[in-house]
Structure 1
Amino acid sequence: MTLRIHALFHVGFEDLSFIGQWANNHGHTITYTRFYNEDSLPQQDTFDWLIIMGGPMSIHDEKKFPWLADEKRFIKQSIDNGKNVIGICLGAQLIAHCLGAIVKPSGVKEIGWLPIELTEEGKNHSLLQKLPKQAFTVFHWHGDGFDCPKGATAIATSGAWANQGFIYQTRLHKELESFVIGWQCHFEVTQDSMVKMVEHGRDEIQKELNNYPKSVQSSAEIIEHGNKYIEDNNAWLATILDTLSNV
């Protein structure tokens, strides 16, 4: 089945990356709302999946980014309509907020290739069967964290912040066999997209290296580790997307 995927972009240097490759390889169509270009949001009946990407802003920055209010309403509407909704980093935080969970600074920055581990519920979830059962390394870039939304399943954790991911379903999602998924980490990064993120975030990296030396890596470390971990991260993400599209 050909899927109509709509993606929400908050900055030009955080795009679909591997997700775009996966969609193109499977013949799915992709449309975009680039909030930084003042793109309009689509009608709900024009897409099947919604993917919400990351960005350096906070979900609470509506005064600086007024489109956040419209985006939140749109995400909530998509959830209420039972669509498959995937949120990455800021995208996951926006979903958590729309589901009534608290999103706030975690008290620590995680920037770089750092381990997470699936919870017992995560290990047993049908969408995550091909992910490692032991701790595995993923790409992080966040300072805010979310509480697990009420009614959602917490699927991953790390030493720095307990809630690294969740899966949620309304009654309609269960009827449609669709899901809402939020990940703090970036399974989707490719070598090119990771380098773009590092280039745009060098000042933040340098600042936070001094503040959080145990959970922030240097630009050189991030790029070096990417050579080791990107292929596995993309492969794990592909298994989730494949499973989700075949449910």
Structure 2
Amino acid sequence: MRIHVFQHVPYEGPGNIARWAEKNGHTLTTTHLYEGEALPSHDDYDLLMILGGPMSANDDFNVDWMQAEKRFIREAMAQDKMLLGICLGSQLIARVLGATVSKNEDREIGWFPITATPNAMVLGLPQQFQAFHWHGDTFTLPEGAKSIGSSEGCAQQGFIYQDRVVALQFHLETTPEAARELVDACRHEIDEEGPHTQPAEAMLVDFELFSEANQRMEQIMGYMQAQLEATATVS
């Protein structure tokens, strides 16, 4: 499987997905949008992975590359490509599908449980699990999409669209090292008085949480791989 990554900031990379790809013999290439790199050809990848970032999915006129990125996402879906969106990536996919992206009532930052819907079973996710969060925006569920879960702090935590598109508001790919980078870069966003925000130090101490989250991310990547193989068999 050829995985291509859209990365929006230096400190939000693919995390343990890069390790999973290497372990399973998949290639992983990256467009660093914040460096002005050119977008790839749609012929050059099988799975498009869209990562997080501090900007809003509504910043079409404030972020140089955002309109081009949305066009690319729209084209990818029209060509029946596999897509995985994480955090900002999930919001960009939601916008392309006609949903609304807006400020969440409160920021959700740190480790908080997600209650999954039955739709999440195909991703290997249990009814409740811990995930790492770092977002201030949320989205409405796009028409035709299947919600995969919610948390106390955010009603929409992700969706599956036409089996080929997976959008995750939360982070399961984050490693301890990646979390430290995020805290260092975005510590100013942490409101320790907020109802759904943890202190920075509390986010980093439990390595077992990262390990369990990374295993769940690998299960989701396994789903994406299986869907791609099924599509190739049919065609």
TM-score over 0.5 for the alignment? yes
Aligned residues: 227
Pairing partner for 1:218 from 179, 199, 223:
199
Which residue pairs with 1:194 in the alignment?
Answer: 179
Distance 1:60 1:68 in 2: 9
Q: What letter is aligned with 1:37?
A: E
Which residue pairs with 2:144 in the alignment?
Answer: 151
Q: 1:177-212: per-residue Cα shift (whole Å, max 9, x none)?
A: x5100001010001111110011111211xx223x1
Which residue pairs with 2:168 in the alignment?
Answer: 183
Structure 2 spans left out of the alignment, 5+ residues: 228-235
Which residue pairs with 1:80 in the alignment?
Answer: 78
Equivalences for residues 65-214 of structure 1 within 5 A: 65-123=63-121, 126=122, 128=123, 130-133=124-127, 135-169=128-162, 179-205=164-190, 208-210=191-193, 212=194, 214=195
Q: CA deviation at 1:31?
A: 1.4
Which residue pairs with 2:214 in the alignment?
Answer: 234
Q: Residue 158 of structure 2 contacts residue 168 of structure 2 at CA under 8 Å; is this kept in 1?
A: yes
Secondary structure of residue in 1 paired with 2:177: helix
Distance 2:186 2:223 in 1: 33
Secondary structure of residue in 1 paired with 2:205: helix
Q: TM-score, length-normalised on structure 1?
A: 0.89
Q: What letter is aligned with 2:93?
A: I
Which residue pairs with 1:244 in the alignment?
Answer: 224
Secondary structure of residue in 2 paired with 1:97: helix
Q: CA deviation at 1:233?
A: 0.5
Question: What percentage of residue pairs aligned between the two structures are identical?
Answer: 39
Secondary structure of residue in 2 paired with 1:201: helix
Q: CA deviation at 1:231?
A: 0.5
Q: CA deviation at 1:121?
A: 2.8
Q: TM-score, length-normalised on structure 2?
A: 0.93
Q: What letter is aligned with 2:223?
A: T
Secondary structure of residue in 2 paired with 1:7: strand
Structure 1 spans left out of the alignment, 5+ residues: 170-177
Q: Residue 108 of structure 2 contacts residue 154 of structure 2 at CA under 8 Å; is this kept in 1?
A: no
Distance 1:63 1:243 in 2: 35
Secondary structure of residue in 2 paired with 1:209: coil
Q: Residue 81 of structure 2 contacts residue 164 of structure 2 at CA under 8 Å; is this kept in 1?
A: yes
Which residue pairs with 2:231 in the alignment?
Answer: none
Distance 2:181 2:106 in 1: 23
Q: CA deviation at 1:120?
A: 2.8
Secondary structure of residue in 2 paired with 1:195: helix
Distance 1:26 1:8 in 2: 21
